[in-house]
Chains A and B, each alone.
Chain A
Amino acid sequence: MSSGNPSERFVEAAGLKIEVMSGGSGRPVLVMHHDIGNQGWIPFYEELARDFTVFVPSHPGYGKSARPDWARNVRDIAIVYQSILGALGLERTAVVGLGFGGWIAAEIALGCPHRFDRIVLVGSAGMQPASGEIFDQFIVNTIDYLRTGFANPDDLEKTYGANIDAARLEAWELAREMTTRIAWKPYMFDQAMPYLAATIAAPVMLVHGREDRIVPLGCSERYASLIPGAKLKVIDGAGHFIEAERPTELAASVKAFVAGGR
Chain B
Amino acid sequence: MHLMYFTEQPMSVYPEEEGRKLGYTALIFSNRYFDPVAASRLYQERLDEYRLAEECGFDGIMLNEHHNAPFCMQAKCNIFASILAAMTRRVKIVLLGNPLPISENPVRLAEELAMIDLISQGRLVSGFVRGGGTESLATNANPAYNRERFEEAHDLIIKTWTVPGPFRWEGNHYQLRVVNPWAVPLQKPHPRIWIPGVSSRETIIWAAEHRYPYLILNASIEDCKNIWKLYDESAERAGYTAGPEQRGYLIRCHVAESEEKALQNAREFMWMQGEFTGILDPVWAAPSGYLGPWARKFLSETHGGVYQKKPAPTFERQLRAMSIIAGTPKQAVEKLRILLEETRPSILAFWANDGKVNHEDSKTCIRLLGEEVLPAVREIGDRLGLKSPFEANTPVSLAATPASELRPRAESAAV
Binding site for B on A (CB under 8 A): 138-144, 164, 166, 169-170, 172-174, 176-177, 179-181, 184-185
Known: A138-B287, A170-B296, A174-B296. A181 touches B144 (CB 8 A): yes
Binding site for A on B (CB under 8 A): 27-28, 137, 140, 142-145, 281-284, 287-289, 296-297, 299-306
Which has the most chain B C-beta neighbours within 10 Å: A139, A141, A164, A166?
A141
Q: Which of A141, A180, A184, A185 contacts B305 (CB 8 A)?
A: A141
Q: Evaluate contact between B143 and A170: CB separation under 8 angstroms.
A: no
Q: Which of A164, A180, A181 contacts B304 (CB 8 A)?
A: A164
Known: A139-B283, A180-B288. A169 touches B142 (CB 8 A): no
The A contact surface, by secondary structure, is helix
Q: Evaluate contact between B303 and A184: CB separation under 8 angstroms.
A: no
Q: Which of B140, B281, B289, B301 contacts A185 (CB 8 A)?
A: B140
Q: Evaluate contact between A180 and B137: CB separation under 8 angstroms.
A: no
A184 to B142: give the CA distance in the assembly, Å. Answer: 6
Q: Evaluate contact between B137 and A142: CB separation under 8 angstroms.
A: no
Q: Evaluate contact between A142 and B305: CB separation under 8 angstroms.
A: yes
Residues of A within 8 A of B284 (CB): 139
Query: Closest approach, in angstroms, between the C-beta of A36 and any C-beta of chain B?
Result: 11
Q: Evaluate contact between B300 and A180: CB separation under 8 angstroms.
A: no
Q: Evaluate contact between B302 and A176: CB separation under 8 angstroms.
A: no
Task: Pick 20 A–B contacts, CB within 8 A, sort by A.
Answer: A138-B283, A140-B283, A141-B281, A141-B282, A141-B302, A166-B297, A166-B300, A169-B300, A170-B296, A170-B297, A172-B303, A176-B303, A177-B144, A177-B289, A179-B288, A180-B143, A181-B145, A181-B289, A184-B140, A185-B142
Number of A-B residue pairs, CB cutoff 8 Å, is: 70
Residues of B within 8 A of A170 (CB): 296-297, 300
Query: Closest approach, in angstroms, between the C-beta of B131 and any C-beta of chain A?
Result: 15
Q: Evaluate contact between A173 and B299: CB separation under 8 angstroms.
A: yes
Identity of the chain B residue whose Cβ is nearest the Cβ of A140 in the assembled complex: B283
Residues of B within 8 A of A139 (CB): 27-28, 137, 283-284
Q: Evaluate contact between A177 and B304: CB separation under 8 angstroms.
A: no
A202 to B402: give the CA distance in the assembly, Å. Answer: 67
A166 to B297: give the CA distance in the assembly, Å. Answer: 8
Query: Closest approach, in angstroms, between the C-beta of A33 and any C-beta of chain B?
Result: 18
Query: Closest approach, in angstroms, between the C-beta of B147 and any C-beta of chain A?
Result: 13
Known: A170-B297, A180-B289. A142 touches B304 (CB 8 A): yes
A164 to B303: give the CA distance in the assembly, Å. Answer: 12
Known: A139-B283, A143-B305, A180-B142. A173 touches B288 (CB 8 A): yes
Which has the most chain B C-beta neighbours within 10 Å: A143, A176, A185?
A176
Residues of A within 8 A of B297 (CB): 166, 170
Q: Which of A138, A144, A169, A179 contacts B137 (CB 8 A)?
A: A138
Q: Evaluate contact between A177 and B305: CB separation under 8 angstroms.
A: no
Residues of A within 8 A of B137 (CB): 138-139
Q: Evaluate contact between B289 and A169: CB separation under 8 angstroms.
A: no
Query: Closest approach, in angstroms, between the C-beta of A58 and any C-beta of chain B?
Result: 17
Residues of A within 8 A of B144 (CB): 177, 180-181, 184
A244 to B296: give the CA distance in the assembly, Å. Answer: 27
Residues of B within 8 A of A185 (CB): 140, 142
